[in-house]
Amino acid sequence: MSAKHRTLYIAVAVVVVLGGLLFAYYANYILDRTTADDRARADRKAASTADHEQPAFVSVRTPRDIEQDPPENFIVLLDRKLTASEQAGLTAVNVEGDGLGVWQFLKPLGGRLVEYAAPPAFPNDGLEDGRYTPDWRWSQSFNLNLNSDRSAGLTINSMTAVKDSCRPSTAQTVVDLPPAGAEVRQGLMWDLTGNTKDRTYGPYVLNEGEDQGQLFFRHNVIELGNGQANMAMNIQPRVSDRTCTWHINASYTDTTGTHTQRIPKGTETFTTEAAPKRPAQYFTHVIGAGWGCTGQVIRKNCPAAATVEQLPPEWFG
C-alpha cells in the first residue's frame, strides 16, 4: 500500500471513530433528556420507599431524676417488711422541709418511689369530660421524647393509653410523706383507674392555664419529621388501688394515609404502681408531729404524737 493510500485510510478511520464517538455522545444526551423525568420519578419513589421503611418515629422513655428533681409528696413501697434496725434508722431521718433523705435511706433497701398525683382537682372543678374523681391517688411520672428521622413530615393526632394488665399491689411496706399542698407540674396525664377491662381516659393537659384539665389532642397535634425538632413530654399516668402495665397507641398521618405505632415498641410496656390497701407495715410522717406507724411494726420507733388518725381512711379502716 502506497503512502498516499495509507494516509487516506488513516484519515477515513479517524473520521469514522470520531463520528462514532460523536454519535454515541449525542445519542446518550438525547436518551438522558427523554428519560430524565422517568428517572427523577423513579428516584423520588425509591427515596420515598426507603423513607417509609424506617419507623415513623422513635420514642425514648427517661425516668424522673428523683435526686435532682424530687417530688414534694410521695410514698415509698417495699416488697418486704422493715427490720427493727431499719425501722429505727428510718424514723431517725430528719424529714422537716425535705423528704429526700427518706428516699435515699430506703432506695438501697429495695424501695420504689410513687408520687402523690397532683393537682387533686382542677380550677374548672373537674376534667374536660367529667371523669375526675378524688380516688386518683398515685403517679410515677416520666419524660417521653419523640423524634423522627424521616424526610417527609408526619402528624400525630391521637394517643390512646391501653392497659395490658392490672393487679392489686403486693407491696408489704408503705412509707408515706403525705402532701401539705398540691404540686402542679407541666405535662400530660392519663387516667388508668380501675381494672384492665375499664376504659382509660386522656391525655389531659396539666399545665396551669385555661387548657388545664382539657383533652390535649382536642386542640393540639404533634408534628415530627421533615427537620422538625423532637417532642419532649412529661407523662403522668394515674392509678388508684391497682398497679397497671400499659402502652400507648399513637395514631399518625403521613403522605400514605393514617397509621398506628405502639409506644414503647414491640411488647415492652410502662408500669405505674399503686399503694396496697392493707400493707403489713405503714409509716407516715406528719409535719410538726413526727413519725407514726401501724401494722407489724416496733412501736417504740414511732413517737406517740403521730397517731392512726393520720392514716388514709381506706387503709386499716
Tens digits of pLDDT across the chain (317 residues): 566 656 656 655 555 555 666 655 565 656 566 665 555 454 445 444 544 567 889 999 998 888 888 887 899 999 999 999 999 999 888 887 668 899 999 999 999 999 988 665 555 555 666 555 555 589 999 999 999 998 889 999 999 999 999 999 999 999 998 776 556 667 899 999 889 999 999 999 888 778 888 899 988 999 998 888 888 999 999 998 899 999 999 999 998 899 999 999 989 999 999 999 889 999 988 777 778 888 888 877 776 444 444 555 444 43
pLDDT at 257: 92
CB atoms within 10 A of CB 97: 6
Query: DSSP character for 144?
Result: E
Q: What pTM value is reported for the model?
A: 0.78
pLDDT at 194: 86
Handedness of CA 30, 33, 37, 41 (dihedral sign): positive
Query: DSSP character for 117?
Result: P
pLDDT at 162: 97
The span from the CA of 230 to the CA of 232, in Å, is: 6
The span from the CA of 154 to the CA of 251, in Å, is: 10
Of the candidates 99, 236, 105, which has an alpha carbon nearest to the alpha carbon of residue 176?
Answer: 99
Strand 142-147 and strand 231-239: pairing? antiparallel
Q: Is the peptide bond before 303 cis (omega within 30 degrees of 0)?
A: no
Is 303 in a helix, a strand, or coil?
Answer: coil
Query: DSSP character for 199?
Result: P
pLDDT at 183: 60
